[in-house]
Structure 1
Amino acid sequence: MIFVTPMKKTYYLFNPGRISRKDNTLKFTPVDESGREGQPKYIPVEGVSDLYCFGSLDANSALYNFLGKAGISVHFFDYYEHYTGSFQPKEYLLAGKMQVQQTLHYASKDKRLKIARKFVEGAAFNISKNLKYYINREKDLSAQLEKIQELNSKIHGCIEIPELMGIEGNIRQIYYDAFDVILKEHAMEGRSKQPPLNEVNALVSFGNMMCYTMCLDQIYHTQLNPTISFLHEPGFRRYSLALDIAEIFKPILVDRVIFRVLNKKEIQSKDFDIHINKVVLKESGKRVFIKAFEERLNETIKHRTLNKHVSYKHLVKLECYKLSKHILEMETYQPFKIWW
């Protein structure tokens, strides 16, 4: 059974503007290209989990002090859908013991490999589940599924991180080939990024970035350090642990949404800016995708272990808790695998 429950909200700011504090409320005033102010919008701070800014934002240090005390993160993106950085409140949950243990697990080749294999294993399982879903709907994807399952059997034989990353990359390549069968009127024609070269790739890049940022925000609410990762090399991106955890959830949270918005024509060609060497989502496309993505995050499922309903977004935080317990050697980490 799936339903939607209320919770603190993520707010998405598409328009450029000014944001300030008014008592315990955030005041956002949109500003157009000519500098004319629009109608201010007021957001009660107790209902905000985080802010995603896709337009330029004018704010002062007093506002960020206020956001920091309220535990509200702010994530920034440029016109081309690139994540550019975050304002994160003081790292109030970081603990010395976790920092030491997380570093030791990264520094130990065996311990790091054990965790990294689990990330790829979880991602491969959830990818296979997506393919089985569409095979049951008469899509001819058995060849792709067989190849991925063959690669999946090699994961636990990997003894080097680059070898493991190679298997993960091959699984993704085969999986992305399947998009051309799953999608009714669009073709992926292979993965392209930085920049994406067609509409499907533009959606994948945007969706993956949204998933990465959401995972980063959930990590912030645990004792984990987001800069110390296991599958991806720390330093590839500042918060590389978010990349690790996102691998497990991209098939469930991003790809399913892409299949929905394209096959149901909620997003169409008119929602993209098509240039000679790149394709990016227009604001209209971003709004539709984010609405569908938020609906997915807020759906709840009956958790088999906890025996209660939890949202998909909360599943990501639970994943962080499981990883924390593994690092503290309280229990062995098992990646989230979709069971329905």
Structure 2
Amino acid sequence: MESYYLFSNGELARKDNVIRLTRKDGQFKDLKVELTRDIFLFGEVSLNTKCLVFLSQKRIPLHLFNYYGNYSGSFYPREKNVSGELLVNQVTANVDCQHRLNLAKKFVLGASQNIVRNLKYYLRRGKDVSEQLTVIESLIKAIPLSTSIDQLMGIEGDIHRNYYSAWPNIFNDDTGFVSRVRRPPDNMVNTLISFLNMMMYSSCLSEIYVSQLNPTISYLHSPSERRFSLCLDLSEIFKPLIVDRLIFSLVNKRVVTPDSFEKGSNGCYMKKNTILKVSRAYDEYLRKTIMHRQLHRKVSYRHLVRLECYKLIKDLMDEKEYQPFKIWW
């Protein structure tokens, strides 16, 4: 199964049993729906209901990004792989304060352990991150003692603030990055974080769609209208492995430089060719494989996300307590 990243302007339409992107110059690209996992649209593309109905029939999510690479939304096909029992259990776990808090702690713990793994990796390579590492390891001890979601979110915020404060020491060059700035991002690193976080969010949504989980019912982040909040929960665990490590690689290997970005009145944005370059690197990163210690076979980073969905389902069905993914290599 392939994820398609479409950057050309034109028209997306059904053509027989394929989805065809026809560019304005008349050239076209056909997407074989049987081999399509999801589609990421970055260009100015028009499409009709016939195309959307076909995507829905083939269970292909469509993720939309605007000209600047900002996530705009997703077309989420009608769910066919559903379980009424799981849905009831998923809601019950959310309204059960203790069960929700336990799951939320696991999400924060998994993310924090993976953050520590990243810092130890760079500490062994001579990067001065020992101070932040000590503080974060101390904050992690407070996670099991949390008595509310708000308190837990506060600990998570402190961990991320210390983690981001270590980033200038990880980068080989001065990037101008000091702290996390979101809306709008003020430099190249914050722009990369925002873009890749949304890519990770979209990938989590695609994997949740394959499972029987409902993406709107979450545990760490509060469920609300107009967002798939379970994607936010799951993406926290995988950002240190996929998003952060990719950013360190892109910057330190000078795959992206300050010249890859442009600044305007509304912040810092990637140039069009930079979005293409970073998206390709992200897709290649998801294809990376690792020998799984329990399955005893190689699995891709993307498949690790799907396995996390299945582990959460087992917890909700009272089969096995959920344990968050932890980087072991």
* TM-score range normalised by the length of the shorter chain: over 0.9
Tell me what 2:271 maps to: 282
Tell me what 2:231 maps to: 242
Supply the AA of the counterpart residue of 1:200.
Answer: V
Supply the AA of the counterpart residue of 2:111.
Answer: A
Q: Give SS of 1:149's match.
A: helix
The counterpart of 1:175, out of the listed 159, 163, 173, is: 163
Q: Give SS of 1:11's match.
A: strand
In the alignment, does 2:297 pair up with 1:304?
A: no
Q: Give SS of 1:75's match.
A: strand
CA-CA distance at 1:40 after TM superposition: 1.4
User: Which deviates further from its counterpart, 217-226 or 285-294?
Assistant: 285-294
CA-CA distance at 1:207 after TM superposition: 0.8
Question: For the residues of structure 1 that align with 2:93 and 2:39, how far apart are their CA atoms?
Answer: 32
Question: For the residues of structure 2 that align with 1:49 and 1:105, how far apart are their CA atoms?
Answer: 29
Show the 5 A alignment for 1:1-340.
8-31=1-24, 37-185=25-173, 186-235=175-224, 238-340=227-329
Distance 1:237 1:231, change over 3 A: farther
Q: Give SS of 1:230's match.
A: coil
Supply the AA of the counterpart residue of 2:186.
Answer: L
Supply the AA of the counterpart residue of 1:30.
Answer: R
Question: For the residues of structure 2 that align with 1:178 and 1:251, how far apart are their CA atoms?
Answer: 13
Supply the AA of the counterpart residue of 1:143.
Answer: E
Supply the AA of the counterpart residue of 1:11.
Answer: Y
Please tell me whether the aligned partners of residues 71 and 195 of structure 2 are also in contact (alpha carbons under 8 angstroms).
no
Supply the AA of the counterpart residue of 2:198.
Answer: M
User: Which deviates further from its counterpart, 17-26 or 226-235?
Assistant: 17-26
- Calculate percent identity across the aligned residue pairs: 45
Please tell me whether the aligned partners of residues 208 and 306 of structure 2 are also in contact (alpha carbons under 8 angstroms).
yes
CA-CA distance at 1:292 after TM superposition: 1.3
Which digits, 9 at most, give the CA deviation of each residue in 1:4-62, with x for residues without a partner? Answer: xxxx111111122101122222211123xxxxx34112222222111101122211111
Q: Give SS of 2:213's match.
A: coil
CA-CA distance at 1:79 after TM superposition: 2.3
Please tell me whether the aligned partners of residues 126 and 337 of structure 1 are also in contact (alpha carbons under 8 angstroms).
yes
Supply the AA of the counterpart residue of 1:269.
Answer: P
Please tell me whether the aligned partners of residues 179 and 187 of structure 1 are also in contact (alpha carbons under 8 angstroms).
no
Question: For the residues of structure 1 that align with 2:312 and 2:241, how far apart are their CA atoms?
Answer: 19
Question: For the residues of structure 1 that align with 2:131 and 2:273, how far apart are their CA atoms?
Answer: 36
Which digits, 9 at most, give the CA deviation of each residue in 1:275-321, with x for residues without a partner? Answer: 24500111111111111111111011110011111100000000000
Which digits, 9 at most, give the CA deviation of each residue in 1:252-273, with x for residues without a partner? Answer: 0001100111111111122112
Please tell me whether the aligned partners of residues 257 and 289 of structure 1 are also in contact (alpha carbons under 8 angstroms).
no
Question: For the residues of structure 1 that align with 2:322 and 2:176, how far apart are their CA atoms?
Answer: 37
Distance 1:148 1:87, change over 3 A: same
User: Which deviates further from its counterpart, 141-150 or 234-243?
Assistant: 234-243
RMSD: 1.2
Q: Give SS of 1:51's match.
A: strand
Structure 2 residue runs without a partner (length 5+)? none
CA-CA distance at 1:236 after TM superposition: 6.7
Query: What is the TM-score of this pair, normalised by structure 1?
Result: 0.94
User: Which deviates further from its counterpart, 49-58 or 211-220?
Assistant: 49-58
CA-CA distance at 1:249 after TM superposition: 0.2
Which digits, 9 at most, give the CA deviation of each residue in 1:116-149, with x for residues without a partner? Answer: 0000000000000000000010111111100000
Question: For the residues of structure 2 that align with 1:210 and 1:252, how far apart are their CA atoms?
Answer: 14
CA-CA distance at 1:82 after TM superposition: 2.6
Supply the AA of the counterpart residue of 1:83.
Answer: Y
Question: For the residues of structure 1 that align with 2:281 and 2:29, how far apart are their CA atoms?
Answer: 23
Question: For the residues of structure 1 that align with 2:291 and 2:202, how far apart are their CA atoms?
Answer: 25
